[in-house]
Structure 1
Amino acid sequence: MKQYQDAKQAISSINNSNLDSAIRNAQSTNGVKLIDDGTRNVTVDVNNYATKKAEIERDNKQQADSINSQVQQYKSDLQNYLNKINNNSSVVSSNEIIQNLTLANEWDAKVSYQVTGNNIKQSSQTIKTGDSTYSHVIDIPQGKQITVTSFSSDNPQTFKVTATFTGLKNSSYQGRKITKLVEVYTITPNTSAKGNAVAIYSDPTNGFSEFSSKVNVSYEFYYEDGSKVNFEKGTAYLALGSLNNYQNGQDHYEYAKVISGGKALGLAGSSVSVHNGNVLYSTYPNTARESEYGADSHYNTNPQHSPNFDKYYGWDTGWLNSKAFYGSGLVSLEGSKYTFEVGVGGEKHFTTDELRNDLPANFLWYNMATVIPRTDIQKPKLTVHYHHTNVELQQPEAVHYHLDSSKKYS
């Protein structure tokens, strides 16, 4: 009986403190995910309890050492990441994003327009596989086509266009189908403009082109039952791409400004960053080399390029390009209506009509995606697994005996 009591006492004193301390350390470290793999049950007896106790304590120590080592390395990696993004809370890496919004190509969408303005000219062009429009090619599958409709004024004026897209088939939020999108455009001419225009694509993911203008646009999405989509914070993002800068933020830099319904975010390692809390653009040239400007160009022939310019040169060819993040920013959507402004900055530096009207200074193509471009810089993550062990001591076997009544015992 004493051997059993000794075993029971030994089992009750198994050392779990080092493991529990490591778990608390991981729990208190922001960004660490802890997974309890459950409790392992071990049965021992009076003959092997000491060996099993030693094994369990070794396992506890090995788990504790591993958890502490992983947490220490994670903290170091996290600090290196924060140093790379200058501890900027407006910068995120692509692996941080939880995306519940899908806006895929809508080749078969129908779109109707309402225009408010004076003598606004309207014309349409059908685009098929391999066709180009406004200096760029859209990748259209065989057998599909879209329409681009332009609205222009020969004299500079502010006018409005409401575009209503219906029959959407490939868009959803949190698994619920989105079938309708209403976009309201306000097109305001640049001060140097001789006329201004906007061209809108029937596939909303292909965005729009603007000429000699800045464009204010609001988006409202609708479900099949006609109710508005209301985006929850941290669940829906738009990637805004092809934000070019050609000369030190002066002659031509393209920007996107969040007015309401969202928050501007920079992507880790991108040339595009957040300015004044809600404006996305690249501070320095991120698009062309000096040799591409031309000897008689009005662009700066010796600009200070964006960091890693040569590493990511050639990024501006679409969302499938692995370097696309370099000219992109993000908007985190919240609420039922998102309003933003896009345009070309630096107009105050245009000194002649030739410069004011020379492309690309007064032209911008805007497009969006919900596939977040992968950043080279990734925020470190850590998932820690652990388990505890429960020990059950077998009861000693009872000793059975009987007395022979025919015998006398003394």
Structure 2
Amino acid sequence: MSATETAIASAEAHSAHNYHPLPVVVASAEGAWMTDVEGRRYLDLLAGYSALNFGHGNPRLIDAAKAQLERVTLTSRAFHHDRFADFCTQLAELCSMEMVLPMNTGAEAVETAVKTARKWGYRVKGVPDGMAKIIVASDNFHGRTTTIVSFSTDPEARADYGPYTPGFEIVPYGDLTALREAMTENTVAVLLEPIQGEAGVLVPPAGYLPGVRELTRERNVLFIADEIQSGLGRTGKTFALEHEGVVPDMYLLGKALGGGVVPVSAVVSSAEILGVFRPGEHGSTFGGNPLACAVALEVIAMLRTGEFQERAAELGDHLHRELGLLVGGGTVETVRGRGLWAGVDIAPALGTGREISERLLAERVLVKDTHGSTIRIAPPLVISKEDLDWGLDRLRTVLSVP
């Protein structure tokens, strides 16, 4: 057996089958390229679901991690450490907010937001104990914990995990009327992705997000924006909501915040909202650890220049222009997205999203399928135009487009 076959066979024998990876075994990576155990190079057009916005092995992030590794990596929140205040201050400033509650994973940030909204509802809004409701959108993806899958509409994410956590109302994504009708005096928050990534990079109708902001203000309801995938440069702005001129009550951040080096997530909001917590009411052993803060501080410094947002906007325009030329003719049905992020609906007659992904793998291009014949394209923001065009040429080859 080849080195690839051996590694895959061992993984399948000894790890739970909760993922179905493409048959490639990565050994090293740099920038927008990954190399497998047999020395073959692949163009990464997934970027770890946006966790690798700044590319594999970004020197600034690796240097920041190395420097911190030699000093201190973990104190727990039982003690202060010398990177924590700077991290919280600078991330709050980046978001034009006041307070930060750091965690590790995106799902932890969402869970923290749910707890925050409920506690705010009881202590500030005056909702009767145990009656708080949070409104979410259909086709959402906010994580895979028991509570989060309780408000998923994806059978694969939800089935066989009941009994489910109550307290959530699901309305159609992009439907302001349905949102308005679902609100009651006990509604404490609306939790939305500004662009639904896992659903196929779905962009809501123009005016929807400003409408959500206006409605939540009018009804004294928190607007929680899950920007874990869409935030930190991916769409050509620091936050996807900026395209609509909207500022939420709370940002949920993750993935790119850790630079692809360490898991870092955060809830960022006002002092009034995050001020509902008292010592001992919520926490995380690794949340806000020195290593995470050091890497995240470098991510924040990189975003402050605007360089990566501008690059995502310019290359994103090029990406969507080229993908748009493929629409029609029985190959590509629809292209959606914003910035360096696209959902591409392949004509079902050409194959499933998985099959298209496997054909692209044979061409040394890595993407990820979702929902039938849809593939997602989200390269690192450091990708060159030449490499992006090379990847698009491989897609044309797979689709048999001249």
TM-score (norm 2): 0.23
Q: Identify the structure with the greater strand proportion.
A: 1
Say which structure is richer in helix. Answer: 2
TM score, norm. by length of structure 1: 0.22
